[in-house]
Structure 1
Amino acid sequence: MIEKVRNMSCVDCRFAPACVTVRTRNLCENCFIRFLQTKVLRRMERYRLRNAPKDRQRKLILPLSYGVSSLALLHIVSSLLLKQRTTGQKRTAFDLHVLIVDPVSLHPSKGAAASGRLAKIKEAYPDNTYSEVPLRSIFDYDPDIRGDISQHTGIPLGSNPSRSDEEILNLFRASFSTATARADIDGILLRRLIVAFAKSHKCDGILWGDSDSRLAAKTLANVAKGRGSSLVWNVCEGMSPWDIYFNFPLRDLYKSELEVYASYALRDLQQIIDQDPRNFEDLSNRHMSIEDLMSQYVLTQGAKYPGVMANIVRTVDKLTTPGVENAKMCILCRVPAGENLNAASGSQMDIGSNGGTTTVPRSTCYGCMRTLLDMKAPTSNSG
């Protein structure tokens, strides 16, 4: 819980007037910024300069969504690297590559809001490398995705070679009948694209900009969707099944704390920050996914019981990471399917769903099987 305060002194420096109460402590602006940045940097001990290899320069990917969390992380990491460059050190701990998946390729309605934002980011943090790619570039970085869409979802792509990658992807995404299934498949595509991009650029790890609040919502949503077996790789730090390290430097911070931090440290970038919808009641049930419901729950209940939300993520940290050696991987989300993998004979199974029968490949995990059950026949002419 974070609150604005007046007429009190900062408990850290004992000189400046306090402006916020953070976890029962009254802090001034500078001490609050230092408190938050220290939390993040402690989570990045793995990438300290003293731990850097001597024979090469490490490279990390930071996916930027223009949300307050990923922008705060970009600011903190960029400030760290700038300090290393300007204090006489001969090298930085790592190179930072910022990846933006074009928001318009995910949500065309964001076209006007998205224009010009990358230029402002580059101006603010000019020393980083930047790449902006559309979602359809997943076909370039993950060559298996075309076969997965065609072979395992029944969309006959090969019968119309003139169809563009964007048309193929839009047809696939539009074939899901519920908001939850569409959000789930978009999350899978985004992760596959980011991981494939990072590996193609020989990166050592990915810095995910997920706050504790976001991780708690993801945990609850994944359990509700039947993806409990893959929670560890969605929430916890460590080596992923795709041979690249996952880091969550913001996992000790609440979304509300990052919003206050951004109001102090990112004053010049306030106009480009994507604002989360606060009034979920404006969304109809038809357009609300499980992710939206869990985000709403964490947003409302987290303000009252922040410790409970934090315990959700800490509990997942205690889970044992499933082994990936010799494990059968789900053909869609590419996580070890484990015991959820249907072991019956044959390569596909037909399961009744709303509106008819859906053919689901047997090499899918339970979560993907549930998502694929929401597929409907493609509405576009398959040629």
Structure 2
Amino acid sequence: MQNPYYQREIAADAIQKRMGQYRISTKSGRHKLLLPLSYGLSSTVLLRILNSHLEHQRHKYSGPGYDLYILVIEPSSISPSNQPTEQIFDLIQERFPSHFYTRLPFHSIFEHDSDVQEAMSKFAGPGFADNPSLSHKERLDAFRASIPTATSKTDVDYALMNRLIVACAKKFGCTGILWGDSDSRLAAKTLASVAKGRGSSVTWQVSDGMSPFGIEFNFPLRDLFSTEVQQYAKLYPELHDIIIPDEPPSEDVLTKNLSIDELMMRYVLTQGEKYPGVMANVTRTASKLQSLSASNVPSCTFCGAKMGGSSNDSASTGILGNTNSLQFCYGCTRSRPDVG
């Protein structure tokens, strides 16, 4: 077993190499980068490493190459089973004070994304009627309640979360988003995306580079397995009362009640311990795929993914008769409530 302190240096070096492009430049000035923070293991570890990276840049160069904007979407606004996190939010600002912090509820998407109301109404179909007289929270709760299955609910929440994060990044003037996904998480996301019919969006969901939203997506933890991230976190006691650990998977839950995302994550975590090289190859292979970047390729109205023009994607456009201005990709069409 390798020395944990050696593993720590390996982890820090891997991330700092990936952040090397964000050195200060006389041409572009200081970059603005957004880090979505869930208080989970990976995003919290990433914040700690990036904080050290910025301190290193301050001492070695003329100044840091980027400003870090931390965005927290309040967990208790996503699920009532999550506890409010005001104290953790205050604590993390106290321990890492050199950054810009914003904390928002999930339903603030109505305030930050001007197009989401129409997209949600058309996505849910004629069986759903949005009521603007309700509070933003009540409106979002009603929409999410209209989604029938566990997989569809997870899929829709991910798309909405992504829209809110991107909208905030643009509001802050950020040119890139730093996602705290480990190699294990990226492998699970790759497998789940393919299973859900979202293969065309895999590239920008797991690869460094430009996203369909005009903002770069980067995954600094992509070379580290979840076990390595856990080992790193154990070396820093100041992280222990910030990180909210994932609920251990219950053996009593029926498979049919789990989303595809949950199933794939369980599979990667169990098989990744036995075959780490295989799991790493899943993400590496997906990263070699070419994304659809042509300007004339339409984007999905709901999730923003480029639509590849396949029979699946073509069949999912304008399917409500009076929605010719709105197009839904194959993956989103599969997640929609029954419109028949």
TM-score (norm 1): 0.82
Distance (whole Å) between structure 2 residues aligned to residue 288 and residue 179 of structure 1: 6
Query: Distance in 2 between the 1:284 and 1:335 partners?
Result: 31
How many Å separate the matches in 1 of 2:147 and 2:269? Answer: 27
Q: Distance in 2 between matches of 1:315 and 1:344?
A: 28
Paired residue for 1:257? Answer: 228
**Counterpart position of 2:41:** 68
- 1:140 matched to 2:104: no
Confirm or deny that 1:101 pairs with 2:77.
Answer: no
Counterparts in 2 of 1:223-372, with a 5 A limit? 223-265=194-236, 267-340=237-310, 342-343=313-314, 347-349=318-320, 363-372=327-336
Q: Where is the strand percentage greater, Structure 1 or Structure 2?
A: 1
What CA distance in whole angstroms lies between the structure 2 residues aligned with 1:138 and 1:63?
A: 15
- Quote the Cα distance in structure 1 between the aligned partners of 2:37 and 2:308: 32
CA RMSD of aligned residues (A): 2.3
Maintained 8 Å contact 2:110/2:116 = yes
| 1:43-54 mapped onto 2 (5 Å cutoff) | 43-49=18-24, 52-54=25-27
- Say whether the 8 Å CA contact 1:235–1:316 is kept in structure 2: yes
**Structure with the larger RCO, 1 or 2 (CA within 8 Å, 6+ apart):** 2
**2:199, 2:318 → 1: CA distance?**
24
Distance, in Å, in 1 between the alignment partners of 2:27 and 2:326 is 46
> Which of these residues, 177, 196, 204, is aligned with residue 148 of structure 2?
177
Partner of 1:201: 172
Distance 1:182 1:95, change over 3 A: same
Q: Is the 8 A contact 1:33 1:261 kept in 2?
A: yes
1:245-294 deviations in whole A, cap 9, x for unaligned?
Answer: 111000000000000100003x1221331222333413333541111100
Give the length in aligned residue pairs: 336
Q: Secondary structure of 2:70's partner?
A: strand
1:347 aligned partner, one-letter code: G
The amino acid across from 2:226 in the alignment is K
In 1, Cα distance between equivalents of 2:29 and 2:281? 38
Tell me the residue number matched to 1:151: 122
Larger Rg: 1
Distance 2:72 2:335 in 1: 26
Q: How far does residue 33 in structure 1 lie from its aligned partner after superposition?
A: 1.5
CA separation of 1:365 and 1:115: change in aligned 2, threshold 3 A: same
- Cα distance in 2 for residues equivalent to 1:55 and 1:236: 23
Cα distance in 2 for partners of 1:136, 1:347 equals 27
| Residue pair 2:185, 2:265 contacting (<8 A) in 1 also | yes
* Cα separation, 2, equivalents of 1:188 and 1:37: 30
CA shift at 1:324, angstroms?
3.4
Name the CA shift for 1:268/1:363 in 2 (closer, same or farther; >3 Å).
Answer: same
> What corresponds to 1:81 in structure 2?
54
1:12 corresponds to: none
CA separation in 1, counterparts of 2:326 and 2:179?
31
Paired residues of 1:349 and 1:361 also in contact (CA < 8 A): no
Aligned to 2:186: 215
Identity %: 44
Structure 2 unmatched runs, 5+: none
Measured after TM superposition, the shift of residue 54 of structure 1 is 4.1
CA distance in 2, matches of 1:345, 1:333: 13
Question: For 1:169 and 1:93, how far apart are their aligned partners in 2?
Answer: 38
Distance in 2 (alpha carbons) for counterparts of 1:187 and 1:97: 20
Preserved contact between residue 205 and residue 247 of structure 1 (Cα < 8 Å):
yes
Query: How big is the shift at 1:339?
Result: 1.8
Tell me, in whole angstroms, the C-alpha distance in 1 between the residues paired with 2:110 and 2:34.
19
SS at match of 1:171: helix
How far has the Cα of 1:164 moved from its partner?
A: 1.6
Q: Scaled by the length of structure 2, what TM-score is found?
A: 0.92
8 Å Cα contact 1:236-1:248 kept in structure 2: yes
CA positional deviation for 1:133: 0.6
Q: What secondary structure is seen at the aligned counterpart in 2 of 1:363?
A: coil
Pair 1:375–1:38, CA change in 2 (3 A): farther
Once the 2 structures are TM-superposed, how far is the Cα of residue 151 of structure 1 from its aligned partner? 3.1
Letter aligned with residue 334 of structure 2: R
